[in-house]
Amino acid sequence: MSEAEEVDCLVPNAQACRELGISEMTGWRWDTHPETAPPDWPEKIKRGNKQQSRTYRLRSKLERCKANLIKMALGIGGQS
């Protein structure tokens, strides 16, 4: 798989939360109350039927969010 294809893959919500070091409940709060979410928090993508749907995030948007959080933590110009 090329790097371009890998960047735009779907990441399960649980894995996205683990990568950011947050709980799934925090991810849900950020989805429900976007004003509390960090800049570039990727929107959720639902797959499946209504009873058994799964939530995913786009890899490219998740990586952008992670990079922005790192910049903010280091104080080098992340969005606020």
Would you say residue 44 has pLDDT above 80? yes
CA distance 33 to 5: 31
Domain ranges (residues) in the chain = 3-74
Close Cβ partners of 69 (under 8 Å, ≥ 6 residues apart):
20, 38, 78
Prediction pTM value? 0.78
> What pLDDT sits at residue 51?
84
Q: 3-74 maps to which CATH number?
A: 1.10.1660
| Residues in the chain, overall count | 80
Structure tokens at 77: 């110009």
Handedness of CA 28, 64, 43, 17 (dihedral sign): negative
The mean of the pLDDT values for the chain is 88
Residue-wise pLDDT tens digits, 4-27: 555 589 999 999 999 999 999 999
Q: What is the mean pLDDT of residues 46-51?
A: 88
Higher pLDDT, 70 or 6: 70
> What pLDDT sits at residue 75?
87
> Could you tell me which residues are beta bridge partners of residue 11?
57
CA distance 16 to 60: 12
